Chains A and B, each alone.
Chain A
Amino acid sequence: MKKTVRHLLLALLATFPTAQAAGPTAQALAFTCAGCHGTDGSSVGPSSPSIAGMDPDVFVDAMLDYKNERRSSTIMKRIALGYTDEQIREMGFFFYRQPLRVKPQQTDPEMVALGKSLHDSYCEKCHEEGGRPGDAGTLAGQWMPYLEHAMSDYLNDQRRWPRKMERKVKEVVKAEGERAIPALIQYYGSQN
């Protein structure tokens, strides 16, 4: 219930154009991301993630973590350091308003089926509706090489685990072995 209320509030917020403060508009700032993350944040892959429709809190946390070196990256730290915290919030709202356009990815049906059952048992509680955009990030339709990078970073202590996630991931790997994570990634990549 709490989530639904929050979602409605965000949806309402998103219908308003951003207040015009001094400096570049949110749109102008966000347009500069397109060369890697796609027009309006829908990436055409293969590995830079889509950020369209992203929950603004997830966007802001990611950017601030890059900026403050709490999350490893190849290039995003260098980019994030170019923006004020306020600009990052404005960009977060901009991308939240954009519809996520998903491109089909090639997946293995058996792995997808396994991934779906694992998702339902271990992940769905936080990553609702099969990992659709929400306050636990965007998994459904996300580019699979990016999800591989993300999981590798979690498992190699290059990225902070969100609450409960470490326990759940370790449980699913224990139960299903090494194919658990590839299967989950295939399931997310299969959705469009």
Chain B
Amino acid sequence: MNRINRRDFLRLAGGSALAAGTFGFPGLLLANTRKVVVVGGGVGGCTAAKYLRKLDPTLDVTLVEPKTHYTSCFMSNEVLSGDRSIESITFSYADLKDRYGVNVITDSAVGIDPIAKEVRTADGARLAYDACVVSPGVDFKWETIEGYDAQVAETIPHAWFAGPQTVTLRNQLLAMPDGGSVVIVAPPNPYKCPPGPYERASQIAMYCKHHKPKSKILILDPKAKFSKAGLFKQGWAQHYGFETDNSMIEWVGAEQGGKVSAVDPASGTVKAEGGDFHGDVINIIPAQKAGKIAHDADLVENDWCPVDKRTFESTRHPGIYVLGDASSASKMPKSAYAANSQAKVAVAAILARFAGQEPGEPTYVNTCYSIIAEEHGISVAAVYRLSEDGKVIDSIDGSGGLSPMDASAEHRKREVTYAHSWFRNVIDDMMQ
């Protein structure tokens, strides 16, 4: 029964001798403190900043982020249903400063000089770095939908960055009459949070079911299929009459003419291949590309940032590590958990480089929950490794996958409690 045996003891003892030989002299002896500048205070950037300082407190780590508070996109759909407040998903950067000793600068990075190794900010600061982490998230390709831009988005919100637009969308749902129509325009691949638009439809349906039961939610989609589709459709059938005459949610995919080309804000009409659709409330989630600073710093090829998937170092500019939604990290999705996992891979690579060592073997995980109804959660998970040729982050055979179809009510209910645990622990792990 006892699984810790003598062999373990010898192996571990041998390991310690090896380690003592390798790590006998800590980096403290170096004359200059190594500097890391982290651009972007989302999941990737915060996790990287915290873990750099956690693993090497001698490092000088600076986080550059224009907003004073972080509002998580994950769980923001629950604000739309009224299940939680915007305050409950808004967090201060204080712990990163006070507990982990990260210099947090409220400012925007406007350029990165990879030769001089300097980040320039809007306020005119020049921040020297030995390694730079760029985790700017996504930006929109506004031009893909005629009539839609940042100005229009104040009244026809995308709410794809949680914050004021999440509240706007919630208030529009509150003001909508019973029997009103909600139109959600889903984006083409790739985009951040693949199941997000469909969880959003679910959470809006959850609100309407209780408060505006005659209302309809229409999803217009340029894709022929979508993330967790089988599980969403099963949940929608169970809770919202999906594919009956009285379905609260309708999905119009590419083959049914779901691709949207234009919006007319004045009349509240969306123009899709399958026809014009009126919405009392319209939510447009446009096509996406890497965040602005990634473009300004010349880190982008075909909308996203190519990286060495072993380290997340940019293949365009050495010394700059691009994490999270902005990176091309195929086959990992653009998700919070992926960004958190990638940050730890990049931190290990940066520390190895500072120590003059080769980067270690990376390991990555993604876990993503969606909440379809009060007691109905679903998930997708994957454990990844780097492919032999180093080109692809591959899911390990036999692991991962979706929640089972036809699971018990207890199973679905537990996944909601684990979704909430996921939320609290990701926030804690990145910034608390």
Contact = CB atoms under 8 A, between A and B. Distances in A.
Contact of A48 (B14, B19, B385, B425): B425
Interface string B81-121: 00000000000000000000000000000000000000000
B425 A57 contact: no
Most chain A CB atoms below 10 A, which of B340, B364, B417 = B417
B16 interface: yes
Given A29-B363, A34-B425, A35-B365, A19 B340 contact: no
Nearest to B43: A35
Interface in B411-425: 411, 414-415, 417-418, 420-422, 424-425
Interface stretch (A75-83, A115-123, A168-176, A182-190): A75-83
Interface stretch (B2-10, B253-261, B274-282, B318-326): B2-10
A1 interface: no
A44 B367 contact: no
B425 A35 contact: yes
Nearest to B11: A19
B268 interface: no
Mostly helix, strand, loop or mixed at chain B's interface?
Answer: helix
A36 interface: yes
Contacts of B54: 39
Interface stretch (B174-182, B301-309, B397-405): B397-405
Nearest to B380: A78
A179 B18 CA distance: 54
Given A15-B16, A46-B417, A46-B420, 17 more contacts: A16-B13, A17-B15, A28-B345, A28-B348, A32-B383, A34-B429, A35-B336, A36-B421, A36-B425, A37-B425, A43-B425, A44-B432, A45-B424, A74-B379, A74-B411, A78-B400, A145-B417
10 contacts: A19-B15, A24-B361, A24-B362, A37-B425, A38-B425, A44-B432, A45-B424, A57-B3, A81-B398, A82-B399
Interface of A: 6, 9-10, 13, 15-20, 22-25, 28-29, 31-39, 43-48, 56-57, 60-61, 74-75, 78-83, 89, 93, 145, 149, 152
